[in-house]
Amino acid sequence: MNNDNEEIAACITRAMEAYLLDLDGEPPSGVYDMVLACVERPLIEKMLSYAEGNQTRAADFLGINRNTLRKKMARYGIQ
């Protein structure tokens, strides 16, 4: 499991390095929310798929409350 965590961290590091290079000297803004949105949506979608659409199970897998999951699903337009 530790290897998986390191792999995810390495992917984020590479993506952030590319993002900062693409800015070409412009100051970054709203990076935290941008990264969370980029990670959170596919994470929720994958856990819902893994839970076969069962929101209670998906919320349990994610370690969040089902109502929190439903709010996040609404935010990202996830059915």
Residue 56: closest CA among 40, 75, 73: 73
Rounded to whole angstroms, what are the CA distances from 71 to 2, 9, 75? 30, 26, 6
**What is the reported pTM?**
0.81
pLDDT of residue 28: 96
pLDDT of residue 3: 86
Place of tokens 């897998």: 61
CATH number for the domain that contains residue 52: 1.10.10.60
Which residues touch 44 (CB under 8 Å, ≥6 apart)? Answer: 58, 62, 69, 72, 73, 76, 78
Q: What phi and psi, each to the nearest 5 degrees, are found at residue 49?
A: -65, -45
How far apart, in Å, do the first and last CA atoms of the chain sit? 30
pLDDT of residue 1: 58
* Domain housing 72: 2-76
- Looking at the structure of the chain, the number of domains it has is 1
pLDDT along the chain (79 residues), means of 10: 86 95 95 94 98 98 98 96
